[in-house]
Structure 1
Amino acid sequence: MKKVILIIAILLKVSVGFSQTNNGRVIGNTIDENKKPIEFANVLLHRVADSVFVKAAISDEKGNFEMDHLVLENYYITIKHQTFKTFKSENFSITAGNKIKSFTDITLNKNSNTIQEVVVTSGIKPFVERKLDKIIVNVENSIVATGNSVLEVLERSPGVMVNQESSINLKGKSGVVIMIDGKPTPLSGTDLMAYLKGIQANNVQTIEIISNPSAKYDAAGNAGIINIKLKKNQKIGFNGSLTLSYGQGVYAKPSASTNLNYRNKKWNFFGTYSHAEPTDFTMFYINRKFFDANHNVVSIFDQTSYIKRPIISDNSKIGADFYANEKTVVGVMLNGNWNSSNRDGNTNSIIKKPDGSVDYTTDNSVTLNEKRFNGFGNVNFKHSFNNEGKEVTADVDFGQYDSKTLQDINNSNLSSDGQTVTLNKLFTNQVGNIAVKSVKADYSHPFSKTAKLEVGLKSSLVTSDNDVKFYDVIDNENVLDSNRSNQFIYKENINAVYASFAKEFTKWDFQFGLRTEHTHTNGEQIATNEKFSRDYTNFFPNVVVNRKFSDDNSLAFSYTKRIDRPTYRQLNPFKIFVDSYTYVVGDPTLKSVITNIFEFNHTFKGKYITTLSYSKSNDAITDIFQQDDATKISFQIPANMQDFEQINLGIYVPFKIDKTVNSTLSGSVNNNKYTSPLQGSTLHNDFTSWDANLTNNIALGKGWSAELNGFYQSKSVWGLFIIKNLAQVSSGIQKVSKNKNSTFKFAISDIFLTNHIAVEVQYQNQDFFTNRTWDSRVATLSYTYRFGKNTIEKARQHKSGVEDEKRRAG
């Protein structure tokens, strides 16, 4: 909290007196083929030097648009509308002698092929938008996202299911690639969850959910890609913002963040910093049954856990872009995340006999001290050969991910009358390091306005080093347990090349792509001297065919092949104890998962979208549980299933209730089917589930607006697990000052406390139920102040070369 106060004190001293003469002006009007004015056309002004977005306007009821306060520069405009083809102007100059550029009767031709952004006349972007190839979650303008972490925003995103302790699934499938600004995070499991909890939603602009990526992307992730795009202020001159937030659930959640930027014709410097000190809790209830050889119940295990977790998180991002000339840009970017937490947990277990009487009880306390640092750097280069899109880009990426975990476990076994029977203590010290290096280059060559070839290559090298030591605490002395202590070193080198060709015709559009990846890995357990090595090559085709039947109807078909490699944590054979009766362990023999995905996509009137997809995975990875009926110990381990099939039907429907309420309904129906030999038998788990997400943006007038969002996920299946239904309703209100410099927000998440994860398993000798709740209902008040120049010149949205490595660490 002291750091939050210090940030506030420093930033409130910032005063801005920076101005620049901006006298340029662009005016014009839009009409259709019948000479009628086009209303609500999005007019975008771009700078010729780097094609970055500078300023925007929307045409009025007479088709007129206007953009003023422009610096002297070379520009071009593009005009987009959901029912018309995109228009691009010739380059023009705003000079001291010619400060006004006028466009007269720009004619837009009808075309339903491209799904443009749905114009919201109230000026409020919907929380969720559906484009042809992805779903966009507009975090920046969301009221209910204020004060939340990125992980909490993902919980409310369509098709996304979050287990806050270990995983993220998309459309009921694991194998999701998590990217930050186009750079995959090498983290996974609890490491990834801790990282995403430490990133405040105030630092996020949008979240892109891409279920069917093209050949240009890494082939990793059979469920798709979630790309979290952080804010990058690109206004002319010096400007910035300060956000202060305070949330109150069961525990307090204060945070503060700032965003600073300076830009002139040659340079753009940007930086963000945030500090948060939320305190969370997690409460578990677990009921397990244990059996004899004849499958008769011999013991019932009731366990209740409460874990309190104060977190201190600092995030920073700094960078610069140098515009050497109109065609060449060089950039550098550094990201850093420091996260520390102290988990204080207590578990009480009652072990009952089959008749319900108490056999014995246990009292288990676990304290965990974690310190993590994630650092990432990128150097990038872009050169445009002309203004038609012929360009080459290159990236060099490097990252370091360090973690240190100290854990104390104290366990007491008590007789039915409360007398201590046994007492034991365990101490663990785990140190982890992941180093990522990557180089990448891409070339784009348009043959015409309707045909383009893209080619590229990439090479990445990842080294993961995990060292864990177990100690039995005897007479207050730590005695090393060499049988359980170990060091696991894993190295992976992936080399890839791709080519993609796209061609547009009057009624048909095509895209064909092929990506080839060669993978070489080796792993070593130092204590046991066990080693393994793998070497394989895969080909990943991608096909998209789009047919325009009319102005109102188009149908697209796509096929892609994907791979889901085991995460570094899943390969790690170390035992990580949750308590004395539960641990998590990896399996270094896990195989990669190959998935084939087929999808049909129908678009009606440029905005109503229906999708039907089928996917089949070989050797799908899911977590499974195993238990020892004699010791009452259960453990979670990843395993390859033989086959996984999914059929998915999805809809996206934007609509208006009246002039002030814009709503979006998205939903899907999934049939998930697992078939695999498992634990001496054959698993058949076939289940149909559905989910729905409704968002409502309400314009109240005079700077006031509100938001009401909700989602529902029915009972679903994942491997062995049956996941019970869950839901959440969140709401908020905001006030924007007349000069647009101040914004006040108040929001409440999970109003009815319906967001929880309940899971049951009934297979072989396993019969258990678990229910997990957390600090999900939080009331948050935030204030944002913007200062400096307000002339927008948005930066190029650069993505670096690391696309898979970051998510797989841990």
Structure 2
Amino acid sequence: MNQSENMKQKLLLTFLITILISMNIFSQYQPGTIAGSLKSDDKLTTASSTIALCRAADSAVLFSTSPDTESNYFFYSVSKGKYLVKVTSTLAETYYSKPFIIDSLKKTIRLEPIALVPRRPVTLDKVVVTAKRPLLEQQIDRVIVNVDAMISATASNALEILEKTPGVSVELSGGISLNGKNNVMIMIDGRPTNLSATDLTAYLRSLPGGTLDKIELIDNPPARYEAAGNAIINIKLRRNKLQGFTGSFSAGANQGQYFRTNEVLNLNFNRNKFSVNSSVGYNRDAGSVKNNGGRSYYANDGKIESELRSVNSSRSQGDAITGRITIDYAANKKTSYGAIINLNSRNTDDHQLYANSQLNDKGLSDSLSLGVTDFNTRWRGGGANLNFLHKYNAQGRELSADLNYLRYTNRGIQSLTNSFRDVDDPGIYNDQFSYNLPSVLDIYSGQIDYVHPLERKARIDVGFKTSQVTNDNELSVIGSPPASGLQGRDKSNHFIYRETISALYINTRKDWRRFGLQLGLRMEYTVSDGDQLGNQQVARSTFKRDYLNAFPSLFMTYKLDTTNTNFLDLSYSRRIRRPNYQMLNPFEIFVDNYSFSSGNPYLLPQYANQLELKYRYKKYFGIGFQQGFYNNVIFQITETREKVFVTRPQNVAKGRISAVSINGMIPVAKWWNINVSGGLYRLKLTGGTTEGKLDQEAFSIRGSILNQFTLGSGWSAETNGYYNGRDINGQRSIDPRYRINAGVQKKILKGKGSLRLSLEDVFYSWKTRDETRNLANAISYNTSQGDTRRIAMGFTWSFGKETSSRKRSLNENSASEEKSRVD
């Protein structure tokens, strides 16, 4: 038996022993019971009530339940401790009981009947909302961004909102980073998107801002989350839990060089045991990017041998429709079922022009190439989720299960026309060809999670997940691409990739009076295989891999006082970055006469160890110290072949990120709040590529400042500024950039609606300048400018009637990490 098999068995044995020890703890658990009843002249008042069991020390809600048909309620499996009962209802005043104790002598408590004091029912059309959620909220393991606090959100799409989110950076190419960390997993309602950078960018642009509720920024995810990604950004969509029929409508339009619109209609119906939430959205997107760049080629003595000047401009436009429906059925007080259906459709048309001029060592032009590329994409996506939740008792013991199926199809045609002229040859050579790019992706996944509370404020979570992915990409070339010194390239490609990931996790948590500890271990076994079917010029090639990994995590928190005001948090996690599916496809694709791109079937996973020490003040302020260590770092690396650049992903380096980050809200006055987010980063890469040694280092500052003004009479305004300091990405060094936005809002329709006006990138300063170094006898540089300066208008309206509060939310957070790695 080889060393790899021994290691797998040891890791699996460790995991099973941990579970057996935990089960032994369960067998020693002897809980208590709490019973009571409600009294009211109106049955609807008691039926609409929610009874919460709270910790007496701080009134924190431990578990909630509803009264039965006889107005009785029960809490089972209650640990020893001091508690109180809280009763809330939209039809009655809030009630708090006197504190009581559960211990070995008093395991059963029967409380006195609670007489509810009725109040008049409230309908939504009489409500005027005056409170406003803060932009940022601090939690132990994440930062919450409330999207509605951004005035410009209604007239923006999801990608533009991410660009304005504190700590998040979005490149024009679609790359997303969080607090300096690349390879961020993007999740929608706890379900990873698993799309390549290109498809993810297009999808987020098709998602109207009116569908977003919150954004969770998670630097060090716990063991329950998939181990993929250096960090997680979880976008939570809007859902209304109010009883009755309610809804909302939002519409936005903005004008830059091109006109864009997005509209969203949300409809919700909640009654008794049934809840139906639905939304439909339309997005019309358009934009442009201008690139000016060049390359310098050097002889061995360091003198310039030749140069290349390039100008590139692209224009894109597309229409997208998104639909979503969720159904929730509460079979009884303990068991509920849910279903989710998502449908997405996106049609995009891209038009690109480029011109390349080759210069000799005297700076004179000796050749010119011109090209036109048209890329038409018809993308369809759909998914279904079935979920189940059973709550065994009032203390929090529960079992949940999810089944998911996702399917994406893409029909793309890329047509290219290339013209070439040499000064020594009067002829002009034209090449016309096209790529036919169909692809199909299927993802199946299932997950089971079990939560078991223990005595003395402790709990244990265990779970299992499995996922299976099949990605079928086919590419055929019609016509003949120009050779440009690269002979023997295949003209067609059919690449099939399959991957299965099975995971087990265990997470334990224990809280003392001022100290909390959470330990987690996740084990993932991955089996993958790729098959390039080959053609007349290239032989068939295959690869297969399997590996078992352990991913520990640690969270500690300490209360610096007894008022739950000041906290210290320490966290650690180990993470993995599996290669994007298309990264493994070795087929070379023509970009222009001097540029090609391809995948790398020998790419290995990237691993990260991340540590953070953080201070929090309530939910309003946090400052953290971070260290990240990375091995087998994956970057897009450019190689020079006879003055042609070929870009493909490689494992190139060891990386390190040291950072000090800050997030907070400063209440300057009753009418003025300042939200500050930023960080100081040291980025270091060391290693080697096929082009030579790689040694990059950068000190960078990133930050944003949002000023929010409440002006009275329903008026509010905001100004915000963003600054991204110098950055490094593999061989690329990226210059600093900044932008300024501003907006104003007016509440209308008795507080149920709003009108918003905003200006984006006022000074048209959000441009990217970068330089590619560590090339063999060459250097490359480029400046990119997108259609970022815009004026936007938005409208929102909420309607419907509320009769009582919803008591349960749907479990929909188990779809797999696989979806974020689709190409």
What TM-score results when the alignment is normalised by the length of structure 2? 0.83
Instruction: Please point out which of 203, 206, 211 is paired with 1:198.
Output: 206
Corresponding residue number in structure 2 for 1:144:
152
* Structure 1 contact 470–482 (Cα < 8 Å) conserved: no
| Paired residue type of 1:208 | E
| C-alpha displacement of 1:172 | 2.5
Report the secondary structure of 2:195's partner residue: coil
Report the secondary structure of 2:147's partner residue: coil
1:216-235 map, 5 Å: 216-221=224-229, 223-235=230-242
Q: Please list every run of 5 or more consecutive structure 2 residues that lacks an aligned counterpart in the other structure.
A: 1-41, 76-80, 101-128, 482-487
Mapped partners of 1:73, 1:738: distance in 2: 39
| Paired residue type of 2:65 | V
Instruction: Please point out which of 96, 103, 106 is paired with 2:95.
Output: 103
- 2:331 equivalent to 1:319: no
* Structure 1 contact 49–325 (Cα < 8 Å) conserved: no
Instruction: Please point out which of 576, 587, 592 is paired with 2:600.
Output: 587
Mapped partners of 1:710, 1:76: distance in 2: 52
1:774-793 map, 5 Å: 774-791=786-803, 793=805
Corresponding residue number in structure 2 for 1:364:
371
* Structure 1 contact 72–93 (Cα < 8 Å) conserved: no
* Structure 1 contact 177–184 (Cα < 8 Å) conserved: yes
Report the secondary structure of 1:196's partner residue: helix
Mapped partners of 1:695, 1:585: distance in 2: 41
| C-alpha displacement of 1:415 | 4.5
Change (3 A) 1:128 1:104: closer
Corresponding residue number in structure 2 for 1:111:
none
| Paired residue type of 1:182 | G
Mapped partners of 1:558, 1:289: distance in 2: 46
Instruction: Please point out which of 712, 717, 736 is paired with 1:706.
Output: 717
1:415-426 map, 5 Å: 415=422, 421-426=428-433
Report the secondary structure of 1:190's partner residue: helix
Corresponding residue number in structure 2 for 1:48:
65
Corresponding residue number in structure 2 for 1:772:
784
Corresponding residue number in structure 1 for 2:512:
505
| Paired residue type of 1:568 | Y
Corresponding residue number in structure 1 for 2:38:
none
Instruction: Please point out which of 675, 678, 681 is paired with 2:692.
Output: 681
Work out the percentage of aligned pairs sharing the same amino acid: 29
Mapped partners of 2:744, 2:62: distance in 1: 32
* Structure 2 contact 87–95 (Cα < 8 Å) conserved: no
Instruction: Please point out which of 85, 90, 98 is paired with 2:85.
Output: 90
1:432-468 C-alpha deviation (Å, 9 max, x unpaired): 1110000100011111461111110001001111000
Mapped partners of 1:696, 1:213: distance in 2: 30
| C-alpha displacement of 1:740 | 2.4
| Paired residue type of 1:347 | Y
| C-alpha displacement of 1:419 | 5.8
Corresponding residue number in structure 2 for 1:542:
553
Corresponding residue number in structure 1 for 2:293:
286
| Range with bigger deviation, 498-507 or 408-417 | 408-417
1:252-267 map, 5 Å: 252-267=259-274
Mapped partners of 2:424, 2:264: distance in 1: 54
1:712-727 map, 5 Å: 712-727=723-738
Change (3 A) 1:585 1:348: same
Corresponding residue number in structure 2 for 1:65:
none
| C-alpha displacement of 1:642 | 3.1
Corresponding residue number in structure 2 for 1:565:
578
Corresponding residue number in structure 2 for 1:16:
none
| C-alpha displacement of 1:310 | 1.1
Report the secondary structure of 1:512's partner residue: strand
| Paired residue type of 2:794 | S
- 2:658 equivalent to 1:663: no
Mapped partners of 1:738, 1:42: distance in 2: 37
Mapped partners of 2:168, 2:316: distance in 1: 24
| Range with bigger deviation, 789-798 or 139-148 | 789-798
Mapped partners of 1:540, 1:297: distance in 2: 49
| Paired residue type of 1:743 | S
Change (3 A) 1:668 1:792: farther
| C-alpha displacement of 1:125 | 2.3
Q: Please list every run of 5 or more consecutive structure 1 residues that lacks an aligned counterpart in the other structure.
A: 1-19, 35-40, 51-70, 78-85, 109-120, 475-480
| Paired residue type of 1:410 | T
Mapped partners of 1:187, 1:692: distance in 2: 27
Change (3 A) 1:248 1:791: farther
| C-alpha displacement of 1:707 | 1.9
Report the secondary structure of 1:277's partner residue: strand
* Structure 1 contact 384–390 (Cα < 8 Å) conserved: yes
* Structure 2 contact 256–789 (Cα < 8 Å) conserved: yes
Mapped partners of 1:725, 1:613: distance in 2: 22
* Structure 2 contact 474–493 (Cα < 8 Å) conserved: yes
Change (3 A) 1:796 1:72: farther
* Structure 2 contact 172–786 (Cα < 8 Å) conserved: no
Report the secondary structure of 1:144's partner residue: helix
- 2:647 equivalent to 1:651: no
Change (3 A) 1:195 1:601: same
Change (3 A) 1:677 1:72: farther
| C-alpha displacement of 1:748 | 1.4
| C-alpha displacement of 1:549 | 3.2
1:382-427 C-alpha deviation (Å, 9 max, x unpaired): 0101122111110001100111110111111235599653211121
* Structure 2 contact 383–405 (Cα < 8 Å) conserved: yes
1:463-505 C-alpha deviation (Å, 9 max, x unpaired): 111000112269xxxxxx9823111111100100111110011
Mapped partners of 2:60, 2:700: distance in 1: 42
| Paired residue type of 2:188 | I
- 2:180 equivalent to 1:172: yes
Mapped partners of 2:171, 2:640: distance in 1: 21
Corresponding residue number in structure 1 for 2:760:
749
* Structure 1 contact 592–619 (Cα < 8 Å) conserved: yes
* Structure 2 contact 253–259 (Cα < 8 Å) conserved: yes
1:22-70 C-alpha deviation (Å, 9 max, x unpaired): 7679999xxx999xxxxxx9999996259xxxxxxxxxxxxxxxxxxxx
Report the secondary structure of 1:401's partner residue: strand
Instruction: Please point out which of 274, 279, 282 is paired with 1:275.
Output: 282
Change (3 A) 1:22 1:259: farther
1:195-227 C-alpha deviation (Å, 9 max, x unpaired): 111111111111111110001111111x21111
Change (3 A) 1:419 1:136: farther
* Structure 2 contact 139–619 (Cα < 8 Å) conserved: no
| C-alpha displacement of 1:590 | 0.6
1:572-651 map, 5 Å: 572-604=585-617, 607-628=620-641, 630=642, 632-651=643-662
* Structure 1 contact 74–92 (Cα < 8 Å) conserved: no
* Structure 1 contact 180–229 (Cα < 8 Å) conserved: yes
| C-alpha displacement of 1:293 | 4.5
Report the secondary structure of 1:271's partner residue: strand
Corresponding residue number in structure 2 for 1:395:
402
Report the secondary structure of 1:739's partner residue: helix
1:261-288 C-alpha deviation (Å, 9 max, x unpaired): 1110111111101111122111111211
| Range with bigger deviation, 653-662 or 758-767 | 758-767
| C-alpha displacement of 1:608 | 2.9
Corresponding residue number in structure 2 for 1:210:
218
Mapped partners of 2:149, 2:44: distance in 1: 27
Corresponding residue number in structure 2 for 1:14:
none
Instruction: Please point out which of 735, 742, 761 is paired with 1:731.
Output: 742
RMSD after superposition: 3.2
| C-alpha displacement of 1:87 | 11
Mapped partners of 1:92, 1:145: distance in 2: 36
Mapped partners of 2:308, 2:588: distance in 1: 22
Instruction: Please point out which of 183, 191, 209 is paired with 1:183.
Output: 191
- 2:821 equivalent to 1:808: yes
Report the secondary structure of 1:194's partner residue: helix
Mapped partners of 1:793, 1:416: distance in 2: 77
Report the secondary structure of 1:771's partner residue: strand
Corresponding residue number in structure 2 for 1:67:
none
* Structure 2 contact 633–653 (Cα < 8 Å) conserved: yes
* Structure 2 contact 154–795 (Cα < 8 Å) conserved: no
| Range with bigger deviation, 599-608 or 691-700 | 599-608
